[in-house]
Structure 1
Amino acid sequence: MEEIVVKRRNGRPAFALAAAVLAATGALTVTFVSSGGQGTADAGTAATARFVPIQDVRPNVRTPRPGAAASTGRFTVDCGTNGNGKFSPDNPVAQPGIKNGAEHVHDFVGNLAITADSSDADLDASGTTCRNGDRSSYFWPVVRIDRTARDDGRVQRALAQTRPMVVCPSVAERLPAVPAAVRATVDRLLAELDRLNAAANVRMAAGRGRIDSTLDKQVLDALRDRRATTIRGISATITAAGGDRPSLVSLVDCDVSYDGMHAGMHGPAHAGAARVANPRIQCPTVRDRLPGVPRRAVAEVDRSLDELDRQISEAGERLVTSRGQGGAAFVDNAILGPLRAERAAVLDRIAVAIGRQGPRPQGLEALATCTLDRTPAPSTPPAAPSAPAALPEPQGPNFELPGNNGGIVRPAKVLIEYRGNAAGPVVPMPRFLRALTGDAKPTSRGPANARASWTCSGFTDRISDRYPICPAGRQVQRVHDFPGCWDGKNIDSDNHRNHVAFADRTTGACPRGFVAIPQLRITISYDIPREVQIRGQYALDSFPEENHNPFSDHDDFINVNSTRTMNRITACINRGRNCS
């Protein structure tokens, strides 16, 4: 795998510069964009400072020399360019269970059913856009062209009025059936999670009106440790009582959210949007509404809960694939009506299963009806500082969110490659492995995990952390390299990073305790008019505090390749072949 060392025109490493600025300032009061030009309070008004002619970027891509045992093959997958229009502000890898958690829109290719709430079983049962049947999910922030003048002062004004808040995935909504004998204990531990979250938000009050990456890190690190302990306690308690061992590690990590900035960032284009352009199916949660389940009914209730999840995913997939079909009542008659009937039958089975061994739960039938989210969510700040502002839905024909305006540029090509390791053979990825690359929040979390990704076709020997201006006839490209090493045990970790690692940039070897897996690279190419590039009129969707920071580019992946396909990928790579 190539290692990328980004340098500015004066030759100073951009990553080192970013770290030095953070170390010197401790707390940032403005949006920070690496070498992209926002290191000072007024630099955000010069959007073109984030752009660089690609010829001015020095070659900086290093390729480890393959050793005698290197795996040099390559396996490519064609999953299209999101031609079916699966756009979503969910991030099922970094923020599972949190709707609109990304606060910006992603392109999704591959898995059709995936949402923030999808289980592994849902993913496995989904359709896909990939020609070889790969059900994996690949997703990244969209790129937009916005020819209007950007008011970066509005971002700073909105930030000045915002108190950062801690947002955590809901554990209660993701639990399996909880045995009756430990229901009270689990409830107590869930209450402890709420208490930890509230205490963290008290600490975050010190960050009002500014971005303090040091404070954010201190709060999140401490909260992660305490949540991990409590969540392990929940899992152990359920398992010891005869319940199904829940996989909850993905729910440990929380995030600092500047959601309140949305209230001050509604531009005329967004305020005038008449409809939600990316409707989704909304169903009442069930897992957090159940009483303790008699031990003999646990397995049956778990199967029914999984079936409810699959029903929602299948209905969501139908919503995507049937877009534009039928008349005004098509969704109600063809999707929501059948879904209500299916849910009612499963909810009744749950009530019967519990009632055979104890008191039958009442009112579950009220949870059968789902709706289509057709109206924008409110975007005013909350009345109390105990929760972040409600997040708006993407609106209008361009799926816009506050601060993320303009027409979406559909990729001209998306190249998905699984590649080898310079030091030795690779082993198959485990199914449902989660991985991400880059960092969506280098401003509020610091630049340690951020990765430069921008280049132009024909210039792949150089990568920039600024938006490139390409020569005539060349495409703007984003190159996303994922970690190529795995700890051999876990499909996720409490920060979504520690279970995977990048290989050594010089030798290609994996860190001690890690094994090489097929290393994923996604290259996204765009036909963007050159005058748009020169005028600085294209940009990445981003969190509000990042203000389209090109260094906040990122990409996410869940491996849903079949075991057979992953073995084919691995064999191809280890034999030095090029396959598809």
Structure 2
Amino acid sequence: MKRSINRPARIAMAAAVLAATGALTVTFVTSGGNSTADAATSLDQYVPIQQVQPNVRAPQAGPDAATGRFTVDCGTNGNGKFSPDNPVAQPGIKNGAEHVHDFVGNKAITANSSNADLDASGTTCRNGDKSSYFWPVVRIDKSVRSGEQVKQALARTQPMVVCPSVRDRLPAVPASAGRRVSQVLAELDRLTADANRAMTASRGRIDTRLNKKILDGLRERRATLIRQLGRGLVSLVDCDVSYDGMHAAMHGASHSAATPVANPQIQCPTVRDKLPGVPQPAVAEVNRNLDELDRQISEANERLVSSRADVGNAVLGPLRAKRVAVLDRIGIAIGRHTTRPQGLAELATCTVNGAPAAPAPSPSAAASALPDPQGPNLELPGNTGGIVRPAQVLIEYRGNAAGQVVPMPKFLRALTGDAKPTSRGPANARGSWSCSGFGDRLSDKYTICPTGSRVQRVHDFPGCWDGANIDSDNHRKHVAFADKATGACPQGFRAIPQLRITISYDIPRDVQMKGQYALDSFPEENHNPFSDHDDFINVNSARTMQRIATCINKGRNCS
């Protein structure tokens, strides 16, 4: 089916989001307060940029403003690091994004990467910045399903709650704490099961109010429990609602088993959740070795991306030998103080994009499992067509109109926009679409640019930080956007270098006019342009980040 710029809505649910902008008139069909919608008119998801009114206004710089700018060149993903992982919003969940991201900067990053893994990685950035910057890819696809197919698929889908697995991300558990930790993990599983029972009330439809009620309550209870397990686990608190069932309902088997998997990734059995209670004198040594196992996987993944090495001889074999040695050290460390655990060597063998030789993951993690990106276009169900490589990616750290900036902390996580404005509501979504030469306007629709102008996505990240945390239980509360009128940060927050990523594309104008380019997305969004988003983990050294802040505070332009 050819896409037409005047076609009916691809997805009726997007009406709720687009109506919020005042761009069109829709009729909402609600039932019992549910946030469902049906379109009463045609929804154009593409707009000529000339029809977008100027809406970007920078606050006037005050006497103490930081007016400088620091740019970083990390390339345009020329090394081809694509992944459906989202290490910021869905840590530990393989293929959690359900769509493919472009990654630049950090070469080793996956959903399971620790801070130490990130710090040990190589980078595509010319100045040595090991930060990870990633966003959904754009594709050109000249034949897409109708909005009716999407509604029918949704009608047959049971939404599920998906939570990051805690048990396989824990540090070594001291024997004295083993019983309590087991109780907490069991309670986390029970909370997820209860949430999924509650989700049956929204089978066949998207109910944003119910989603919010369930997720907010679940987050609060998980945060209380996870705090009992120690520091550094806040990133694992937040859960999400998944509509994975829509994939099968719309597409069935998208690829044959013989289709080669694109972008291979190392899969190894988890070790942290297989250890017994560790004697207290051995905890520090066991943790060092667990971290070493993580780094080995990151190094192997980086080799796969960087060299496209033969996975059997050049990567998997050496990796197994290294894992055997580390697992042996773990056994020896525990065995000095109690009975040495048996069977650890069985966890040494890894695979590439296949199920590791280990017990199945927890139900909450398994719920997110999807096929790996496949074929030359790295396709996933619902996200098909050729990927458009960016023509240019501009990464800028910018100042603050109200005052000086402080360096952002290493390993700070941040995101901008919202990948799920349909199922979670549009509060965090941001218009990001523009065209080169039209920097004074952003749209929540895909833009049609004049001849000679590039399609652009402009992603502004929060420029304020709470001064204490590198992440929070919803991945947002530890950072904030400055006031639009004054540039001032909210009370209790400090201005940091504000990240802006501008991605430019050379998309043929006839493709733009026909509405044939679109964003990878979750299935319920169906390529909604308002679901655009961007994620970031700061892995700049303290010295580099101080240099960035100094440049900005002195009003310079640096790189």
Q: TM-score range by the shorter chain?
A: over 0.9
One-letter code aligned to 1:40:
A
Q: 2:455 matched to which residue of 1? A: 476
One-letter code aligned to 1:117:
N
Distance 1:16 1:360, change over 3 A: farther
Distance 1:17 1:212, change over 3 A: farther
Q: 1:558 matched to which residue of 2? A: 537
Q: What is the TM-score when the length of structure 1 is the normalising length?
A: 0.89
Q: 1:372 matched to which residue of 2? A: 352
Report Cα offsets for 1:488-521 as digits up to 9, x if no partner. 0000000000000000000000000000000000
One-letter code aligned to 1:95:
Q
Instruction: Please show how residues 54-453 of structure 1 align to structure 2 within 5 Å.
Output: 54-235=49-230, 246-266=231-251, 270=255, 274-323=259-308, 325=309, 330-373=310-353, 388=367, 390-453=369-432
Q: Which segment is superposed worse, 168-177 or 384-393?
A: 384-393
Distance 1:317 1:386, change over 3 A: closer
One-letter code aligned to 2:540:
N
One-letter code aligned to 1:561:
N
SS of 1:316 mapped into structure 2: helix
Distance 1:169 1:300, change over 3 A: same
Q: From 563, 570, 573, give the equivalent of 2:552.
A: 573
Unaligned runs of 5+ in 2: 1-17, 356-362
Q: 1:463 matched to which residue of 2? A: 442
Shift of 1:420: 0.1
One-letter code aligned to 2:270:
T
> d(CA) in 1 for partners of 2:364 and 2:550?
54
SS of 2:66 mapped into structure 1: coil
Note if 1:28 corresponds to 2:35.
yes
One-letter code aligned to 2:176:
A
Note if 1:498 corresponds to 2:477.
yes
Q: 2:9 matched to which residue of 1? A: none
Shift of 1:261: 1.0
Shift of 1:431: 0.2
Report Cα offsets for 1:282-333 as digits up to 9, x if no partner. 000000000000000000000000000000000000000012x5xxxx2111
Distance 1:133 1:69, change over 3 A: same
Shift of 1:121: 0.1
SS of 1:435 mapped into structure 2: strand
Shift of 1:152: 2.8
One-letter code aligned to 1:312:
I
One-letter code aligned to 1:258:
Y
One-letter code aligned to 1:215:
L
Shift of 1:28: 3.4
SS of 1:108 mapped into structure 2: strand
SS of 1:173 mapped into structure 2: coil
> d(CA) in 2 for partners of 1:527 and 1:545?
28
Distance 1:203 1:267, change over 3 A: closer
SS of 1:479 mapped into structure 2: strand
Distance 1:22 1:82, change over 3 A: farther
> d(CA) in 1 for partners of 2:410 and 2:349?
33
Shift of 1:460: 1.0
> d(CA) in 1 for partners of 2:217 and 2:25?
22
SS of 1:288 mapped into structure 2: helix
> d(CA) in 2 for partners of 1:441 and 1:173?
27
Shift of 1:342: 0.3
Contact 1:166 1:256 in 2 (8 A): yes
> d(CA) in 2 for partners of 1:177 and 1:267?
41
Shift of 1:179: 0.3
Shift of 1:388: 3.0
> d(CA) in 2 for partners of 1:157 and 1:372?
35
> d(CA) in 1 for partners of 2:393 and 2:536?
14
Q: Which segment is superposed worse, 79-88 or 391-400?
A: 391-400
Shift of 1:59: 0.5
> d(CA) in 2 for partners of 1:392 and 1:473?
38
One-letter code aligned to 2:335:
G
Contact 1:297 1:354 in 2 (8 A): yes
Shift of 1:101: 0.2
> d(CA) in 2 for partners of 1:520 and 1:493?
19
Contact 2:27 2:40 in 1 (8 A): no
SS of 1:491 mapped into structure 2: coil
Report Cα offsets for 1:391-444 as digits up to 9, x if no partner. 111111101111101000000000000000000000000000000000000000
One-letter code aligned to 1:143:
V
> d(CA) in 2 for partners of 1:19 and 1:276?
43
Unaligned runs of 5+ in 1: 1-11, 31-38, 236-245, 376-383
Report Cα offsets for 1:139-180 as digits up to 9, x if no partner. 000000001243332222211111000000011011000000
Note if 1:527 corresponds to 2:522.
no
Distance 1:290 1:476, change over 3 A: same
Q: Which segment is superposed worse, 263-272 or 565-574?
A: 263-272
One-letter code aligned to 1:263:
A
Contact 1:336 1:370 in 2 (8 A): yes
> d(CA) in 2 for partners of 1:161 and 1:389?
18
Shift of 1:89: 0.2
Q: 1:517 matched to which residue of 2? A: 496
Question: Is the helix fraction higher in 1 or 2?
Answer: 1
> d(CA) in 1 for partners of 2:295 and 2:102?
22
One-letter code aligned to 1:27:
N
> d(CA) in 2 for partners of 1:306 and 1:234?
18
Distance 1:195 1:19, change over 3 A: farther
One-letter code aligned to 2:377:
N
Distance 1:469 1:139, change over 3 A: same
Shift of 1:389: 6.5
Shift of 1:524: 0.1
Contact 1:269 1:405 in 2 (8 A): no
Contact 2:30 2:36 in 1 (8 A): no
> d(CA) in 2 for partners of 1:405 and 1:474?
25
Q: 1:378 matched to which residue of 2? A: none
Report Cα offsets for 1:328-354 as digits up to 9, x if no partner. xx2111100000000000000000000
Shift of 1:271: 5.6
Q: What is the TM-score when the length of structure 2 is the normalising length?
A: 0.92
Contact 2:414 2:536 in 1 (8 A): yes
Structure 1 ranges of 4+ moved more than 6 A: 16-25, 384-387
SS of 2:251 mapped into structure 1: coil
Distance 1:387 1:414, change over 3 A: closer
Q: 2:39 matched to which residue of 1? A: 40
Distance 1:545 1:357, change over 3 A: same
